[in-house]
Each structure stands twice: as structure tokens, then as C-alpha cells.
Amino acid sequence: MAGLEGVQVVQVGGGDAAALAGVLLADQGADVVVVRSPSDLPVRWAGYDRGKTVVTGDPAALVAKADVVIDGTPDGLPMPRPPATVWCRLHGGGGPPIEELVAARTGLYEPPVGLRPRFHDVPAVTTT
């Protein structure tokens, strides 16, 4: 039995932060349902959708029954928040990203023993 087995999670909205949070919960046994727009490209999310159920449509009915909601929408979901639901808002905004902090937090930071810190060539947040 996984640690989060029986926990109902609804993930709404895009962004890597919300998608990754859903992956982590699904990996621990949660039942994660992703609500997407019909026009969203499934290939872009293929790696982030493992262990999840992907649906389209209005998330209101799913949110009403969820234990956890991952809200990745830019302006927040315009619906009431059930009092017993854990609401996680991960919209990716709030200012410019700081590559070094994100790299350190996500494990892309590699401090070699006895040398100055260095970063991998994989950008975590910097895109052009």
C-alpha cells in the first residue's frame, strides 16, 4: 500500500511546477486527475502525465470531491474552495526566476568536493 493511496487529487492548469507536484503525488499512490483544455498538446505533457488520468471539461465537479487541488492557473480557479480540501496554488509567477536557487532546490546544483559550486547545463527556469 502506497502512502497516499485513496487520496483524490485534481490538477488544473499548466506549468511545470503544478505538473511536477502532480507527478510526485501520483508516485506516492494518489489518484491524480488532470483537467486539460481539448486544444492542449498531449506530447508536451507526456512525461508529466505518468500515473495520472487526463480529462477535459469543467473541473468544478471534480474539485468538489477532491482531497487536494493543484491550481496551476494564472489567475486562480474561479470557484469556491471546499473547506476540507488542501488547495495548492502553483502558478509559476511572482517575479523573475533565479536560476541558481531553482537549480539548488531541484538537485541540478552540483557542489564538487573541494571545488567551487557549479551548475549543470540543463536550464531549470531560464528560457528564451
Percent of the chain with pLDDT over 70: 70
127, pLDDT greater than 80: no
Domains of the chain: 8-89 (3.40.50.10540), 96-128 (no CATH)
pLDDT tens-digit readout, 29-67: 999 999 988 887 777 777 888 899 999 989 999 999 999
Average pLDDT, the chain: 80
What residues pair up with 10 in beta bridges, in sequence order?
33, 69
pLDDT for 92 beyond 90: no
Q: Is the overall model pTM greater than 0.85, yes or no?
A: no
Owner of C-alpha cell 495520472 = 52
Contact 40, 97 (CB under 8 A): no
| pLDDT for the residue numbered 122 | 56
pLDDT at 128 over 50: no
